[in-house]
Amino acid sequence: MATVHPKTSVHQPLFRPSRRPERLVLLGLAGMLSLAVLPSTAAAAPGDPTTTDEAASLVAERGHQLEVLTESYNEAREILSTQQAAVVAAEAEVAAADAQLTSLSEQLAGIAQTAYTGDGMSSLQAFMTSSSPEEFLDRVTILESVADHHNDLLERVTAARAAASDAREAADRAAADAQQQVNAVASQQGELEAEIAGFRAQYETLSAQEQQAADAAHGGPSLQAPAPAAVVANSEAAQIAVDTAMAQLGDPYVWAAAGPDSFDCSGLTQYAFAAAGINLPHSSKIQSSMGKPVARADLQPGDLVYFYNPVSHIGIYIGGGKMVHASTFGEPVKVGSVDMAGYVGARRVV
């Protein structure tokens, strides 16, 4: 049986009531992000539902809106981290090009100085010491070839340095854009915390039957978890990811959390695959573009299954039409049906 990944924190949950976010310095490409619009409290309030089904439906819709927003925040952090890494790489390229340019310039200057002081072979010396016109031409050709070679290298390194500098400027701009996207979502934290508090209060007013209906409407119905030995993946990495995710059954759902004791949907999948040595971004939308697509009929344990358009929910397939996922507020990590409402597709990353 695969070793279950120990619970080590990946990202601390951002969205906890009355808690300030830490400085945003986390990992896509700028411009890909589409931020969800945070609904006002008045617009999101259920009013006076007249039936149990209506109350449950409205709460489920509100929970999904919060999930969409937090997944947008997760995506913004991942994009920022990617762009910041690109800036570091571009700066390293510029430094390497500058070092090479300095070295070649010094070599070229040395050749010129040697020819001027007579320490090396000059065209005049080649003429005076050559025993024949042919030998003289050969020596001059060699001198010109050396000079041309250094000049060519110098031109190429200069061009490379300019290209590296342009890349760094582009990376800086992309990172700045990504930071603006993160700030745009983070600036709504106060309002989001109020929304979450209102959602929790609203959820608690529902009867047990209404809460179950709301959970099923958003997070799908809860199914019986199979015995650990019954879930068999086709690779060691997939098996470790499945076993790690299944070991989190019962852990609470917390927006923007990625373990070790609470999770949102993409936080759980990131945590599970990290145990298998596979790095996934903390974003359901970005995860849904990784690996290769898999048809519904070809699903295997360990495949990622994702939901809604744009993607805002993700889980891990465990076989038998079931998945393990962090479904929604009020529901712990659980086993559910892969055919719940909103299914879009699946990807295989191992």
Tokens 């745009």 map to which residue? 184
Q: How far apart are CA 321 and CA 340, in angstroms?
A: 10
Q: Angle, to 10 degrees, between the axis of helix 52-117 and the axis of helix 208-219?
A: 40
pLDDT at position 278 is 97
Cβ–Cβ < 8 Å for 244, 267: no
Whether the ω angle into residue 310 lies within 30 degrees of 0, i.e. cis, is yes
Phi (first) and psi of residue 291, to 5 degrees: 65, -150
Cβ–Cβ < 8 Å for 261, 255: no
Q: How far apart are CA 91 and CA 172, in angstroms?
A: 10
What is the identity of the amino acid at 337? S
CA distances (Å), origin 348, targets 1, 4, 75, 145, 281: 21, 20, 20, 55, 15
The third-level CATH classification (topology) of the domain covering 221-350 is endopeptidase fold (from Nostoc punctiforme) (3.90.1720)
If you average pLDDT over every residue of the chain, what do you get?
74
Using the 8-state DSSP alphabet, how is residue 313 labeled?
E
pLDDT at position 12 is 44
Q: What pTM, to 2 d.p., does this model score?
A: 0.61
**3-class SS at 102?**
helix
Cβ–Cβ < 8 Å for 168, 91: yes
Question: What are the helix and strand counts (H, E) for the chain?
Answer: 9, 6
**3-class SS at 22?**
coil
For the chain, report the end-to-end CA distance as a whole number of angstroms: 18
- What's the angle, vertex CA 272, arms to CA 288 and CA 257, rounded to 5? 80
pLDDT at position 145 is 60
Report, as residue numbers or ranges, the catalytic residues: 265, 313, 325
Q: Which residues contact 21 (CB under 8 A, 6 or more apart)?
A: 14, 186, 189
**3-class SS at 249?**
coil
The third-level CATH classification (topology) of the domain covering 27-219 is Helix Hairpins (1.10.287)
pLDDT tens by residue, 284-310: 999 999 999 999 999 999 999 999 999
Q: Where are the domains of the chain?
A: 27-219, 221-350
pLDDT at position 218 is 67
Tokens 């958003």 map to which residue? 218
Using the 8-state DSSP alphabet, how is residue 316 labeled?
E
Residues of the chain with pLDDT under 70: 1-60, 101, 104-154, 157, 185-186, 188-190, 192-193, 196, 218
Q: If we measure between CA atoms, which residue out of 331, 332, 340, 278 comes closest to residue 303?
A: 278
